[in-house]
Structure 1
Amino acid sequence: MLPLREVLTALLCCFLCPLPGAWAGAVPPQTINAGAGPVPSSGNPWAQSQPQLPRAPNVVLILLDDVGFGAASSFGGPARTVAMDRLAAEGLRYNQFHTTGICSPTRAALLTGRNHHRVGFGTVSGFERPAPGYHGLWNPATATVARVLHKAGYATAAFGKWHNTPNWELGPAGPFDRWPTGLGFDYFYGFQGGQASQFETPLYRNTTPIEAPRTAQAGYHFTTDIVDDAIGWIHTQQAYAPDRPYFLYMAPGATHAPLQVPKEWVDKYRGRFDQGWDRLREETFARQKKLGIIPANARLTPRPEGLPAWDSLSPEARRLHAREAEVYAAFLAHTDYEMGRLIQQVRAAPGGENTLVMYIVGDNGASAEGGLTGSDNDMAEFFLMAPPAALETRLARMDDLGSVARDNHVPVAWAWAFNTPFQWTKQVASHLGGTRNPIVISWPARIKDRGGLRSQFVHVNDVVPTLYELLGLAAPAQVDGVAQEPMDGVSFAYSFVDPKAKSAPRRQYFETLGNRAIYADGWMASARHGLPWALFSRKEDFDRDAWELYNLNQDFSQSHDLAAQYPEKLQQMKALFEQEAAANQVLPLGLGTGQSNQAPYWFRNSKHFSFHPDLPRMPSLAAPSLLRSHRISAAVDMPVQGGDGVLLANGGRFGGYVLYVQDRHLVYENNFMGTRSERLVSATAIPAGPVRLDYRYQRSNPGLWGGGQGQLSINGEVVAELPLPRVGPPAMDGSFDIGQDRGSTVSAAYPGSFPFGGRLLEVNIDLE
C-alpha cells in the first residue's frame, strides 16, 4: 500500500494540473476548502496548511486606467506601446472586451467575476450611498479571486491604485478588512483613492503609510516604483517559495489624471498631435482597419454635438491642446514601457513560459473629466471650485504640463479621439466609447496561436471564471464561512483555441451614473443620461432619456441606431434591462450620481479632536472636515533659538491648509485648490518656553466654498486677522499630518516636510 502522503500528492497533482477543460477534456474541478471549517484531526495539519500546486501557472493581471480603445499602437492608436505589441505578437488580442464604464465598479467586477452592483460598487468609492448595490463595502458573498487563489495555495500581491475601500476606513486605525490585504492579497504596495500625484504619491505598504524612496526632484515616479517593487516581490517568491505559484495584480494610476510623466517622454511626442482630434480619429480608424483590429465594414462614428471642431479653434488653443495630447500619449507609452519591464522579468524567471499574462488596456474608456477645454488643475475645475484658467495663463505655463507642478487633463475631444471608432467616453456605460477596452492575453506554454485576434463578446466579469477554468478550480460555495453568490461572468477560455467560436450565449447589463445599456446575443439597447463633462449638472429625469438600438453583430462601432426600425425589439430589450437591473441591485437609478452626507466617518459625531506628533500620515479624505467654524490649538515648548516647522497640515499643493512657524512667527496658510492662497502671519514673534498657538476660523459665508475670518493668537493674544474669501477641501491625494507636512506640501514657502523644530505636545481641533 502506498503511504498516505504519496496518495494525497498524486491526487493533488491530478486535480490541480492547469489543463483547462476547453483543451484537455473534462478536468475535474478542485473544490477549495476556503475556510469553511477547522482542519480535521486526522492527517498532517502542516501538509494541509500548505497546498501543493504542481505545474500550476503564475498569473499576472495588468489593469491600466482611463485608456481608450484607440489610444495604444497595438490597437491602432498614436501612443507607441512596444511591450503590448510584443505581448500581442506572442498571444491574443481581443477587440470586443468590455468594462463597466468607470473605475471602482470595473475593479470590483474584475476581481470577483460578479456584476459590480452585486459586489456593492454601483458607483466609485467616495460616492457611496447606504443602499444595496451602492454601499461600497465589498459584499463578502463575492470573494475576490485573490482570496480564492490564496486558499488554493497561491502567493498573492497587488500593486498600484486601489480604489475599492470606503474613505471612512482609510485612517490609520482601520478597520482594514476592506483593504487589499483584507481581501485576499498577501501584500499591497500602492495608493488608495481614485487618483494621486505620480511624483508625490501617498504610498502604503500593506496598511502602513510610507514615504517614497526618493523625491520627485531625485527622479521618483510612481509607475516605475511599483514595477520595481513588484519585481522585488517576484524575486522574493522565487528565492523562498520557488514551487509556489503567484497571482500578481498590477494596476498603475496611468492614464488617469493627473497626467504626469518624465519630460523626456513628452518630448518624444512633440508635434505628433498638431493635426488635431478630428484628423487623429481618421488616422487611427485607418490604422485599425489596416491592422485588422476592426472589421472592414466598421464605420467611424461622428463627433458628438457640443464638442468643437479642431479647425474652429484659435492657433493658440491648438498649440495648447496639442501639448496636452502629447503628455497623454507619453504617459501611456511610459506606462507600457514599465509594464514591459515587469513582463520581461516574469518571462525570464523560472516558469516564465508557464505564466499567464492578461493585459487589460483601461478600466473604462478615455476620460472626459478634463472638460471641454482641458485643465491644468483638474480637481478644482471638475468639482466646479474654480473656472478654467485663461488661455494666456495656460500658454505661459504650458511647459509645466506633465510635471509635478500641474494637475493636468486633456479636453473631452481628445478623449473622444482616443476612443476611436466609438461614441462617447468614460462614465457613459451606454456606449462603447465608455466600455469597450482592449485586452491582450499571452501564455506561451498553452496559447499557440501567436498574434491571433479574437472577436467574441467578453465582459470584465468573465476574467475570474476564465481563470478558474484554466487553473482547474471550481468557484467555491463558501469562503471564510460565507455562502458565495454565483458567478455572473462566463469563461471565455473556449476562445483561446477556436478563433471562430461563437460568443457564449449571454445577457449583460451596463449601468454607471444613470447611463445604461443591455446586451443580449449581439443586440444592444442604450440610454445615455447627461454629458460626461457635466457630471454635477445631471437631473434624475431618467424617463426622458432616449433609448437607442444596435445590432452589434453587423455594426461593430455602434454607429447605426435601429430603434425606429425595430420598436418591438427595443421594447423587449428595455424590459430585459429592467429585469436585470432589478436582479442586480441597480434600482433605483441615480444612487451613484452624488455623495451621501450620512457616511459613517469616525469623526462624524465628535466636535473635539486631540492629536500627538507621533500620529502616522492620514489621508485627507479621512480627516475631520474644517469647512465650518473651528479652532486649532497647538501646545508647544519653543526653544530659545530656531523652532520653525509645521504644526498641522492637511492637503497638498492642489489644496489644503497648514499652521506652521517660520522665523519665530506663527503662520496660517489657506490654499484654495491650488488657485489662490492667503497667509496670516503673526505681528509678533513667538516667545521661548511653553506657548499656546491658536488659529480660529469664523465662517460667515454660507455658500458651498464660502469663506470667513481667520485669526491667529499667541497665548490668547490676537496677533493677526485676515478675511478668507474661499475655503475649500484639501486635495484628494493629500495627507493630514501633525508636526510636519509629508508628501505634496500645502505651501511652497518652506522646504520639504518642514518638521517642527521645537517640542510639540499636542494639537487640538474644536468644531463650533
Structure 2
Amino acid sequence: MSRIPNRVSLLALSLALTAGAPFAAAAQTTTPAPATTQAAGTAGTAQAMPAQQWSKPAVAPAGAPNIVLIMLDDVGFGDTGTFGGPESTPVLDALAAGGARYNRFHTTALCSPSRAALLTGRNAHEVGYGSVGELGYPGYDGIWGKDTVSVAEVLRRNGYGTALFGKWHNTPFREISPAGPFDHWPTSLGFEHFYGNMLGAASQWTPLLWNDTQMVAQPKSQAEGYHFTTDITDRSIEWVRTRRTLNPDKPYFLYFAPLAAHMPHDVPAEWIARYKGRFDGGWDKLREETFARQKALGVIPKDARLTPRPAELPAWDSLPEKQRLVLASQMEAYAAFISHTDHEIGRLLEAVRAQPGGDNTIVIYIVGDNGSAGEMDTQRAVTMAALQPRQKDAFYAAGWAWAGSTPFQWSKGVASHLGGTRNPMVVSWPGHIRDRGVIRTQFTHLNDIAATLYDIAGITMPATVDGVAQKPLEGASFADTFANARAPSHHRRQYFEVWGNRAIYQDGWMASARHGVPWQMKGASDPLDPPEAFAADRWELYDLDHDFSQSQDLAAREPQRLAAMKTLFDAEARRNQVYPLISNNMYGAYPPAHVPTSMTFPGGMPTILALAAPDFGGRSFAIDADVVVPANGAQGVLFSHGGAFSLYVDKGQVAAEGLPLLGTKVLRAPVALSPGRHRIGYRFTINPGPKPGAYMPAAGKAMLTIDGKAVDQGKMGIIYSSMQEIDIGRDTAAPASRTYVAPFPFTGTIDTVRLDTAP
C-alpha cells in the first residue's frame, strides 16, 4: 500500500465514544532510550558521600493494555462456526459476541510470509520472506533485516514483557542448529521467551520442541496425554501468571501461535468422534450449507455470490463410495482439530482475564495465517491414506480446503484470489469496542496489526533502532474502527504474491493473475519458471466493493482499468523485492558453499535438525557407526531421522528400518553382535526417479554391513524430508520402527557416527 504515517492519534479520535484507560504521550522515536537515573540519597558522618545512581528500566505508557495476539495456521474464511463454517468454536463465538468481527481482513496466502508481515508491519518480501524457504534473491533469502524491527522488540524496549508460544517458522533453515547463529531466532527479534516449534509443521504428539534456543524433550509422552496445543497453552498460562504475580504493573505482549490446523491433523479421538458422519455429504454440499449460514450470520453481504467449483477439483458425487468414506474421515479430523484448539485458547483466555488487569487486555484472534490448505489433490490424499493407515487423518484433500474457503475461489498458496488471502479476525477489548457483536468491513491486512498495537499502546514506531534507519511501516492503524463502524479504510493499496500467483488491490478494486494450483506447483524441481510463462498468465479484474466474493471478472469490460492495475502491481513488486517471480520454493536451497557432503557426529550429541547436517533426502547416502559392545551385549538406537528411518540394535541384532512405503523391507543381521568394537554400516543407493508428476517416492537398494561385511540387503524407500530431527544414540520422535518404543537409548558406547551423501 502507499506508505501512510503511523496513526498514533486515531484511537484518540474515538475515545469520547467509549470507556477505557487513558493513553500516555508517544514514546521516543529512537531506540535504545537514553538512560535515566535517580538519586538514592547521601550517607556518611564525616563527609558527604556522592549520590548513588540507579538505572531505571523502560516503563510502558500509562494505561497501555496487555496484548494477546493469536494466529491459527491453515484455516479458511468459511471454516469456523463464528464465520458460518461447520466447526464448533464457542470461544471465538464469545469473543465475537463481545467484540468485533472483521470480514475483510487479509493475509499473504502462505505461512512464513504472513508471520513476517504480522510481526513487522511491513510487506513479507521486504523482510526476505516471499516464501517459506530460502533462495538467493533479496525478497526470498529468509534474512530478517535489522531495518525491519519487530513489534515485539519495539514493545519490549517500551516496557512490555514479551513471549511467543507455538509456531515460529521465520529463521533460515541453515541457522536452526545448536551452533547458531541465533540472530534470526525469536529471542533475538524481540521475544524475551520462546517455547514451541521452529518449523512449519510437526506432529502434535511428538513435535520437535525448542525452549529459547535449545532443543528440548517433550515433557511427557502421548500415552501420558501429551498434545502440543495443550502444552503451549499450559506454558502460556504459567508465563502470564508468573509475570502478573512478580510484576503486576508491567503490561505484556503474548503471541500465541498454535500449529493447528496445519497438517498433520493430530487430535484426541474423542474430539474426532464429535464429527462422525458430519461430512458424508461431501464438499459441494458443505460449501452450500456454509454459504447459507454466512448470510444468516451477516458475515457476508446479502448480495454475495457463491463462486463455482474449479475444474481442477472433482465433484463429490463423481467419486467412488470407498474414496468418499476415507475423504470424509479426513475432514472429521480437521474439524476436530480446530474445535480442540479453540477449547485450549479458551483455557488461556480464562486465565488471562482472571489476572490483575485482565480487563485491560486486548485479544486479537486471527483465524488462519492463510486460507485452508489445498495442497493435496484428491487421488493423492486417498493413496497416501491407504499407504499410511496410521496417519490417514494427517491431511485432507484439496476439495475440503476449497469448502473451507467459502464463498471465495481457491485456497492457501493462491495469492491471486481471496480464498488464499482473506481470513477472519475477531478483536475483543472490554470497554473499547462500541456496540458489542459488531461486524467491521474495512479493508485490513496483517501488516496493519503492528501499527494498531503501537497506536493503542501510545508508542511511536522508532525511526532508528540501534543506529539502523527503519523501513517505514506499510500498514496503518485500524484502532478507530473499534468505536466507529463508519471509519474509512486506511489501507488503500496492497499487493499479493506467492508462487507466482499474484494480485494488486487499490481502493476497492483487485486485479488477479493465477499461475497454478498448489498441488501442481509444490513438486516442481526447478523453482524458476521462465519469464514468458508468467507473461502468459491471464489477468482478471474485480470490483470488491460490489462483489464481495470475487465472483464477476470485469477484465473484458474495463481493459484500461486492468492495464493500470497491472502497471501498479509491477511498481509495487519492484519496490518490495518481489521479482524474480518464483513458482515453487517450499524449502529453498542452501548457498552452495554451505552444503556439506559428509559429517561425523560424536556419541552423545544432542538432537539436531536434519537441515543442519548433510542433505540425504532423496539421494544415495552411507552411515557408519563405530561402537563398543559390552560383555553383556547391547541394544538401542544408533542413528534415527524423525519418524522416517532408524538404524538400531534389537536383542543384539543390528537392524535398519524406514516408513512402510513401497513394500520397504526391514534389514536385520542374522546373529547378535559380539562384545568389543564394531563398525556398523548402512548403504543406500537410489534408483533413477521419481518420474515427473509421480505420487510415490523412488526406492533404492539398501545394504547392512558389520565390520565391512554385508549381513542383509533389500529394497528400501528414500528418506523424503530433512524437516525432522537427527538423533545419535536414541530416538526422540515417533519411531519409524514398531520394534521398539522411543527413546530406546543405546546401551553400549558410540564413538562416532559418520554420514556421507552423494551429489
Q: Establish whether TM, by shorter chain, passes 0.5.
A: yes
Deviates most, 162-171 or 108-117: 162-171
The change in CA–CA distance for 1:406 and 1:601 in structure 2 (over 3 A counts) is farther
CA distances 1:41-74 after superposition (whole Å, capped 9, x unpaired): 9988744334254322100000001111011011
Q: Is 1:453 paired with 2:439?
A: yes
Q: Is 1:545 paired with 2:533?
A: no
CA distances 1:358-394 after superposition (whole Å, capped 9, x unpaired): 0000001111113224637xxxxxxxxxx6455xx78
Taking structure 2 as the reference length, the TM-score comes to 0.90
CA distances 1:295-327 after superposition (whole Å, capped 9, x unpaired): 111111111112111222222222222221111
Deviates most, 157-166 or 739-748: 739-748
CA distances 1:268-305 after superposition (whole Å, capped 9, x unpaired): 11121122211111111111111111111111111111
Specify the alignment match of 1:753 in structure 2.
Answer: 743
Question: Between Structure 1 and Structure 2, how many residues are aligned?
Answer: 721
The residue type equivalent to 1:92 in the other structure is: A
Q: Is 1:611 paired with 2:594?
A: no
The change in CA–CA distance for 1:415 and 1:765 in structure 2 (over 3 A counts) is closer
Alignment counterpart, residue 247 of structure 1, candidates 245, 253, 275: 253
The change in CA–CA distance for 1:374 and 1:415 in structure 2 (over 3 A counts) is farther
CA contact (8 A) 2:38 2:54 kept: no
Counterparts of 2:290 and 2:688 in 1: how far apart (Å)? 50
The change in CA–CA distance for 1:553 and 1:46 in structure 2 (over 3 A counts) is farther
Q: Is 1:31 paired with 2:31?
A: no
Superposition map of 1:418-433 within 5 A? 418-433=404-419
Superposition map of 1:13-92 within 5 A? 20-24=11-15, 28-35=25-32, 39=35, 46-92=54-100
The residue type equivalent to 1:647 in the other structure is: L
CA contact (8 A) 2:476 2:491 kept: no
Counterparts of 1:274 and 1:374 in 2: how far apart (Å)? 19
Q: Is 1:658 paired with 2:646?
A: yes
- Measure how far apart 1:141 and its partner are: 0.7
The residue type equivalent to 1:461 in the other structure is: N
Q: Is 1:292 paired with 2:298?
A: yes
CA distances 1:164-214 after superposition (whole Å, capped 9, x unpaired): 111111111111121111111011111111110011111111111111111
Taking structure 1 as the reference length, the TM-score comes to 0.89
- Measure how far apart 1:615 and its partner are: 1.3
Specify the alignment match of 2:142 in structure 1.
Answer: 136
Superposition map of 1:392-471 within 5 A? 397=389, 405-406=391-392, 408-471=394-457
Counterparts of 1:644 and 1:32 in 2: how far apart (Å)? 61
CA distances 1:611-661 after superposition (whole Å, capped 9, x unpaired): 222211111232222355544222222112231011111121xx2x32211
Alignment counterpart, residue 516 of structure 1, candidates 502, 509, 513: 502
The residue type equivalent to 1:570 in the other structure is: L
- Measure how far apart 1:537 and its partner are: 6.3
Specify the alignment match of 1:270 in structure 2.
Answer: 276
Counterparts of 2:177 and 2:160 in 1: how far apart (Å)? 29
Specify the alignment match of 1:667 in structure 2.
Answer: 655
The change in CA–CA distance for 1:601 and 1:173 in structure 2 (over 3 A counts) is farther
CA distances 1:117-173 after superposition (whole Å, capped 9, x unpaired): 00110111xx21111111011121111100110000111000111111111111111
The change in CA–CA distance for 1:698 and 1:500 in structure 2 (over 3 A counts) is closer
Specify the alignment match of 1:102 in structure 2.
Answer: 110
Specify the alignment match of 1:687 in structure 2.
Answer: 674
Specify the alignment match of 1:323 in structure 2.
Answer: 329
- Measure how far apart 1:462 and its partner are: 0.5
Alignment counterpart, residue 315 of structure 2, candidates 306, 309, 315: 309
CA contact (8 A) 1:35 1:481 kept: no
CA contact (8 A) 2:686 2:718 kept: no
Counterparts of 1:269 and 1:148 in 2: how far apart (Å)? 43
Alignment counterpart, residue 624 of structure 1, candidates 610, 614, 622: 614
- Measure how far apart 1:430 and its partner are: 0.7
- Measure how far apart 1:39 and its partner are: 3.6
- Measure how far apart 1:592 and its partner are: 5.2
Specify the alignment match of 2:548 in structure 1.
Answer: 556
Is the partner of 1:21 in helix, strand or coil? Answer: helix
CA contact (8 A) 2:633 2:674 kept: no
Is the partner of 1:534 in helix, strand or coil? Answer: helix
CA contact (8 A) 1:636 1:758 kept: yes
Specify the alignment match of 2:43 in structure 1.
Answer: none
Q: Which runs of 5+ in 1 are unaligned?
A: 1-16, 377-386
The residue type equivalent to 2:231 in the other structure is: D
The residue type equivalent to 2:62 in the other structure is: P
Specify the alignment match of 2:19 in structure 1.
Answer: none
Is the partner of 1:300 in helix, strand or coil? Answer: coil
CA contact (8 A) 2:233 2:347 kept: yes
CA contact (8 A) 1:374 1:408 kept: no
The change in CA–CA distance for 1:137 and 1:601 in structure 2 (over 3 A counts) is farther
The residue type equivalent to 2:418 in the other structure is: L
- Measure how far apart 1:237 and its partner are: 0.4
The change in CA–CA distance for 1:448 and 1:406 in structure 2 (over 3 A counts) is same
Counterparts of 1:224 and 1:233 in 2: how far apart (Å)? 14
The change in CA–CA distance for 1:483 and 1:592 in structure 2 (over 3 A counts) is farther
Counterparts of 1:273 and 1:727 in 2: how far apart (Å)? 35
The change in CA–CA distance for 1:471 and 1:697 in structure 2 (over 3 A counts) is same
- Measure how far apart 1:668 and its partner are: 2.2
Indicate the percent of aligned positions where both proteins have the same amino acid.
48
Alignment counterpart, residue 635 of structure 1, candidates 617, 626, 640: 626
The change in CA–CA distance for 1:154 and 1:134 in structure 2 (over 3 A counts) is same
CA contact (8 A) 1:525 1:550 kept: yes
Counterparts of 2:731 and 2:409 in 1: how far apart (Å)? 44
Counterparts of 2:356 and 2:114 in 1: how far apart (Å)? 32
Specify the alignment match of 1:383 in structure 2.
Answer: none
The residue type equivalent to 1:641 in the other structure is: N
The change in CA–CA distance for 1:352 and 1:370 in structure 2 (over 3 A counts) is same
CA contact (8 A) 1:19 1:471 kept: no
Counterparts of 2:183 and 2:255 in 1: how far apart (Å)? 18
Alignment counterpart, residue 649 of structure 1, candidates 640, 665, 670: 640
Specify the alignment match of 2:566 in structure 1.
Answer: 574
Specify the alignment match of 1:175 in structure 2.
Answer: 181
Counterparts of 1:505 and 1:163 in 2: how far apart (Å)? 26
Counterparts of 2:53 and 2:563 in 1: how far apart (Å)? 58
The residue type equivalent to 2:507 in the other structure is: D
Is the partner of 1:762 in helix, strand or coil? Answer: strand
Counterparts of 1:592 and 1:48 in 2: how far apart (Å)? 50
Is the partner of 2:117 in helix, strand or coil? Answer: helix
Counterparts of 2:689 and 2:128 in 1: how far apart (Å)? 34
Counterparts of 2:746 and 2:36 in 1: how far apart (Å)? 57
Specify the alignment match of 2:575 in structure 1.
Answer: 583
The change in CA–CA distance for 1:324 and 1:596 in structure 2 (over 3 A counts) is closer
The residue type equivalent to 1:491 in the other structure is: S
The residue type equivalent to 2:425 in the other structure is: I
The change in CA–CA distance for 1:134 and 1:458 in structure 2 (over 3 A counts) is same
The change in CA–CA distance for 1:49 and 1:519 in structure 2 (over 3 A counts) is same
Specify the alignment match of 1:14 in structure 2.
Answer: none
